[in-house]
Amino acid sequence: MSDFIAQLIGLGHQYKGVPEIFKDVTFGIEKGSFHFLTGPSGSGKSSLLKMLYLGLKPTWGSLQLFGEDTLKMQSRLVPLLRQKIGVIFQEFKLLEHLKVVDNVALPLRVRGVDAKQCRKQAQELLEWVGLGESLDVYPPSLSGGQKQRVAIARAVIAQPELLLADEPTGNVDDNMAMKLLYLFEELNKRGTAVIIATHNPRLIERSAHPHLTLTEGTILQLPKCTVLS
């Protein structure tokens, strides 16, 4: 069995009508690893995470995910691979017609966990992120920071093999950011590989994980606390 959850080789992406955003991204995500993903605004962090979630096809290069060659595999495998991934999008992507508690419970529901157990686990997580009073409200009535915490609870509830978090602390205060970092680290200790795209230097400084930096169309792998100016 490979120790890699994902292997990206010479990966590039170009949106129609604009120059390529990255052209030669090569790195591997090992089981149980933890990386920050940094880089200037517009360097392609969100696009790279979307690619790992199979929401965006590479224009060139290859992407192996959970042992599958994603460019050659059958499309019916996409939802099966996605079930192994927890994702926090920069724009949250909550389901507006579902209550907060049901949004969070969704990954358990699709795995066949019974409704009562789903609600119990979703409630516990929501209380932990300070949203115990908002179980039965609908996402449109929440603030940006509250939506972000719902998205985080939904992404971690099923203990995915890979967690992709795009600016997960972009809308919360420092105390909550550190609490969320603790949540990601606990999940990581239980075996989840974690990638956090962030501009938040405090998050990076507070922890001992290496980071990947997108710059000039390629990726650099840096050890802990090496900061590119």
Ligand X SMILES: Nc1ncnc2c1ncn2[C@@H]1O[C@H](COP(=O)(O)OP(=O)(O)OP(=O)(O)O)[C@@H](O)[C@H]1O
- Which residues sit at the interface with ligand X, rule CB under 6 A? 15, 18, 21, 39, 41-47, 90
User: Is 53 within 8 Å of 65 (Cβ atoms)?
Assistant: no
Q: Does 200 bind Mg ion (CB under 5 A)?
A: no
Q: What's the min distance (Å) between Cβ of 217 and ligand X?
A: 11
Q: What secondary structure does DSSP assign to 17-36, as a single string?
A: TS--SEEEEEEEEETT-EEE
Q: What are the angstrom distances between the C-alpha of 25 and each of 116, 158, 215?
A: 44, 29, 10
Q: 15 contacts which partner out of ligand X, Mg ion, none, CB within 5 to 8 A by kind?
A: ligand X
Q: What's the min distance (Å) between Cβ of 202 and ligand X?
A: 17
Q: What's the min distance (Å) between Cβ of 37 and Mg ion?
A: 10
Q: CB nearer to ligand X: give 44 or 107.
A: 44
User: Is 46 within 8 Å of 88 (Cβ atoms)?
Assistant: no
User: CA torsion 46→47→48→51, rounded to 10°?
Assistant: 120
Q: What's the min distance (Å) between Cβ of 89 and ligand X?
A: 11
Q: How many residues bind to Mg ion according to rule CB under 5 A?
A: 3
Q: CB nearer to Mg ion: give 46 or 103.
A: 46
Q: 44 contacts which partner out of Mg ion, ligand X, none, CB within 5 to 8 A by kind?
A: ligand X
Using CB under 5 A, which of 33, 38, 43, 46 touches Mg ion? 46
Q: What's the min distance (Å) between Cβ of 182 and ligand X?
A: 24
User: What is the rounded CA–CA span in Å between residue 107 and residue 156?
Assistant: 9
Q: CB nearer to ligand X: give 22 or 184.
A: 22
Taking CB under 5 A as the binding criterion, the range among 84-92, 110-118, 126-134, 218-226 that sits at the site for Mg ion is: 84-92
User: What is the rounded CA–CA span in Å between residue 208 and residue 216?
Assistant: 25
Tokens describing residue 54:
């199979």
User: Is 107 within 8 Å of 84 (Cβ atoms)?
Assistant: no
- What are the residues binding Mg ion (CB under 5 A)? 45-46, 90
